[in-house]
Amino acid sequence: MLPNPDSYYILTYILATWGDAVLIAVITVVAAVIVAGFVISSKAKNQLGIVMGSGCMMALAVNAIANMCAGFGVTPYFSSFFPFISSGGSNLLISYAFLGIVMSIYKYKAAYSQHVDIDIRGRIRLGKIEITKS
């Protein structure tokens, strides 16, 4: 009898109910999504996209590895979740929010290049001094 078989021990539950092939397929699909997220993040043209995407995918990768280790008895039990599979509102919400961030990075990967020059245009008043820039 496992405590919370649908969240913390989801991989052990999948192994016990559906077998080895389904477990390997689930792990492979989640690993492929995480690797694809890293690839998408690395192709972003601005540093913010790279950092945000890599951070989101790193959080999912660490939780996936931690959940696999705890679920199969390699490490002692601690609270973790397997991305996109574990039940629970906040864990599932975090997984899909991180995936949404990476998808947004993919969509807007060419929105800003590294050499965007943002300057001030128009009139600026500093007391009696007026500066006009165009």
The pLDDT tens digits along the chain (134 residues) read 666 666 677 888 888 889 999 999 999 999 999 999 999 998 888 888 889 999 999 999 999 999 888 888 888 877 788 898 887 778 888 999 999 999 998 988 766 555 555 555 666 666 777 766 65
Cα separation, 55 vs 119, whole angstroms: 30
Residue 114's contacts (CB-CB under 8 Å, 6 or more residues apart) are: 45, 46, 47
pTM as predicted: 0.74
Cα separation, 95 vs 30, whole angstroms: 11
Question: Which H or E run includes 92?
Answer: helix 89-107
Residue 60: the pLDDT is: 94
